[in-house]
Amino acid sequence: MKQFLITSILLAFVIFGFAQQDTKAKEILEKVTKATQSLASLDAKFSFEMNNKAQNILEKYTGDIVLKNKKYKLNIPQMGLQVFCNGETIWTYTVNSNEVNISSMDEATDEMMDPAKLFTIYEKGYNYKYLGESVDAGVPVYNIDLIPQKPTGDIQKIKIMIDKQKMLIHGANMTGKDGNIYTIIVSQYKTDGVYKDSDFVFDSKKYKGIEVIDMR
């Protein structure tokens, strides 16, 4: 399911594991975490690409996400996909089928499926290494490799790019063991916007004839 491919790269984790980690990378990532945690909210526009050269597959999408603490709202119009999360419940709405799936967000939730986690992608489950500086689409960035500590998953490697000026995630490139390469680039940031808690709740009453699948 394509929506899960996209949310699998929009991931992050919440506990640092700095032991035996690259000192330069650690210093940069600590600054990123500090910058991210200082924001009341974050609104980002991004592009997503999946490329498999062996199978001649190239898919591109654009979307936007609003984050407020553990709440988020994700929209990918080209896929007809909208995801709402109020920190406890997740609503995944598919426009074309007029269907919403409802699930609980708890400790059992697969972190790989949490799109709110893009901006702290590095914090748990990876060893990391500083690669140097470069410029991506005119943006000066730091490059850091993330290598999964457990080789049993689907991810082989992730490279993240960090905007040197904003000290926020600029993009991520994920190489899967299946040969797929997933790339996300953040094209625009807006910070400290004002959002109500109700903005992160899906109201099925607004959608005539909607099919509700409650998996809680």
Evaluate whether 120 touches 17 at the Cβ level (below 8 Å). Answer: no
Please state, in angstroms and rounded to a whole number, the distance separating the CA atoms of residues 24 and 20: 12
Q: Cα dist. 18→89, 98, 160, 189 in Å?
A: 31, 45, 17, 28
- pLDDT at position 18 is 33
13 — pLDDT class (breaks 50, 70, 90): very low
- pLDDT at position 117 is 60
Question: Pairing between strand 181-191 and 169-176?
Answer: antiparallel
User: What would the mean pLDDT of 21-40 be, rounded to a whole number?
Assistant: 85
DSSP 67-84: EETTEEEEEEGGGTEEEE
**Does the predicted TM-score (pTM) go above 0.85?**
no
Residue ranges of domains in the chain, CATH in brackets: 2-196 (2.50.20.10)
Q: Which amino acid is at 19?
A: A
Q: Which amino acid is at 25?
A: A
69-105 tens-digit pLDDT: 888 899 999 989 999 999 899 999 999 999 999 998 7
